């Protein structure tokens, strides 16, 4: 049977459904979709888009930290927005948060997100201790 470890970050609100914030397997860390929900469990759907993005990236950072990695371990990021016209604003804030690191990414415009939120982000990162230079991509 494969080894799959799942956990939740104590720094963000516990999952409300049947899932974990973080699962790791096969050298990768998968982060469940993060909505703009603060540590007290309040969805920030009524807040400006930039504030929602900031909360989502904060939540993502807490999940990465719980997994023992940081944003520089991100391999792929999936972004869901309810208004594709907000994409430039998201991209600007995301680029500021990540700096020079540029993981693979997808964006999807969706009709709606849970709690009426405007943005959700899920991600995959390389687990700590894995040699990520064996693919030849950095050669």
Nearest to 75 by CA among 121, 116, 124, 33: 124
User: What residue spans define the domains of the chain?
Assistant: 5-126
- Between CA 90 and CA 7 the distance in angstroms is 27
Nearest to 70 by CA among 41, 97, 90: 97
Q: What are phi and psi of 30, to 5 degrees?
A: -105, 130
Which residues share a beta bridge with 5?
24
Q: What is residue 41's predicted lDDT score, i.e. its pLDDT?
A: 96
In this predicted model, what pLDDT tens digit does every residue of 28-48 receive, in sequence order? Answer: 999 999 999 999 999 999 999
Nearest to 35 by CA among 87, 123, 125, 113: 113
Q: What is residue 139's predicted lDDT score, i.e. its pLDDT?
A: 37
End-to-end CA distance of the chain: 35
Half-sphere exposure of 12 (CA within 13 A, CB side): 29
Q: Which CATH number fits domain 5-126: 3.40.190.10, 3.40.50.700, 3.40.50.300, 3.30.1330.40?
A: 3.30.1330.40
Average pLDDT, the chain: 93
Burial grade of 60 (CB within 10 A; 0-12, 13-18, 19 or more): buried
The parts of the chain modelled with pLDDT lower than 50 are 132-139
pTM here is 0.91
């Amino acid at each position: 049977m494969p080894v799959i470890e799942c956990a939740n970050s104590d720094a963000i609100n516990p999952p409300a459904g049947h899932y974990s914030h973080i699962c790791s397997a096969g050298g990768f860390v998968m982060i469940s979709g993060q909505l703009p929900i603060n540590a007290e469990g309040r969805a920030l759907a009524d807040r400006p888009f930039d504030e929602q993005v900031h909360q989502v990236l904060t939540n993502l950072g807490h999940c990465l930290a719980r997994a023992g990695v940081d944003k520089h371990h991100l391999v792929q990021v999936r972004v869901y927005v309810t208004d594709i016209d907000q994409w430039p604003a998201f991209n600007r804030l995301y680029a500021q948060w990540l700096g020079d690191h540029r993981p693979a990414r997808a964006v999807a415009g969706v009709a709606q997100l849970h709690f009426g939120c405007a943005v959700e982000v899920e991600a995959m990162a390389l687990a700590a201790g894995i040699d990520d230079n064996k693919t030849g991509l950095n050669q």
